[in-house]
Amino acid sequence: MSRNKELGRKVRLMKMLNQNQRVPGWVMMRTARKVTQNPRRRNWRKGSLKL
């Protein structure tokens, strides 16, 4: 990917970065550990993005 990115692509990349985080601890406590994993978790090598 090129070094100079347009603003829309940067915004979408940042959104994907934030979505790629784990479930917060307070969510696990609130749901009595029924929700422990993020179903949309993605590895940078294995999954590609649709930008």
CA angle 9, 22, 10 (to 5 degrees): 10
Gap between the Cα atoms of 26 and 48, Å rounded: 30
Residue 26: domain span: 1-51
Predicted TM-score (pTM) of this structure: 0.75
| Residue scoring higher pLDDT (39 or 2) | 39
Q: Which pLDDT belongs to residue 1?
A: 62
Amino acid (1-letter code) at residue 3? R
CATH number at residue 43: 1.10.1620.10
CB distance 40 to 47 below 8 Å: no
Q: How many domains does the chain fold into? A: 1
Q: Which pLDDT belongs to residue 51?
A: 82
CB distance 51 to 13 below 8 Å: yes
Q: DSSP label at 14?
A: H
Instruction: State pLDDT tens for residues 15-50.
Output: 999 999 999 999 999 999 999 999 999 999 999 998
